[in-house]
Amino acid sequence: MYYAYAKIGDEKLSDIKALEAEIGRPLIAVEPIALKPAEIDPPALTRVQALEKKLGVTLVAVEPK
């Protein structure tokens, strides 16, 4: 399962900030998203891995909707 930052309104944001203050830790709101990972050929995988290393992030190839 994959997650993205949740789209939240001002009221929910206020609730989150209040809880952050109470527990002394930042919170990140995420929600599940429907993605189908794509299979890619070895040369493409090598290029993706090189870009991941360069950027310091994880990239996931997905099937278009």
**What is the span of the domain harbouring residue 11?**
1-34
What pLDDT score does 44 carry?
Answer: 97
Residues 1 and 29 in one domain: yes
Residues 24 and 43 in one domain: no
Residues 4-51 pLDDT 10s:
999 999 999 999 999 999 999 999 999 999 999 999 999 999 999 999
Residues 45 and 60 in one domain: yes
**DSSP per position, 1-65:** -EEEE----HHHHHHHHHHHHHHTS----EEEE---BPP--HHHHHHHHHHHHHHTS----B---
